[in-house]
Amino acid sequence: MKSKKGQSLPMNTIVIAAIVLIVLVVIIMIFTGRMGGFTHSVQDCVEQGGECVAACNINEGILPIAGGECKTGTCCSKPIK
């Protein structure tokens, strides 16, 4: 009888090559901006629980949110509780 140990190496190589290919595709998507839908929702002011206002004034009980993007207001803020 012949040993079938020689067939496990090509199968392992194919599996590893497939995993590497998937990782490369994800990395390319990240660097080319194809993951923009995900990053936009993370940076959106409302998604972070904030509100776009004209000015952030900490003395009035408004806490600015770093990285929150606003389309209409100039500052993404959240009331201090």
- Rg, the chain, Cα only: 24
Query: Which tens digits make up the pLDDT trace of 26-77?
Result: 888 877 766 655 555 556 777 777 777 777 776 666 677 766 777 666 777 7
pLDDT at position 27, please? 87
What are the Cα distances from residue 44, in Å, to 33, 37, 77? Answer: 17, 11, 12
Q: How confident is the model at residue 11 (pLDDT cuts 50, 70, 90)?
A: confident
pLDDT at 20 over 80: yes
Higher pLDDT, 19 or 48: 19
pLDDT at position 21, please? 97
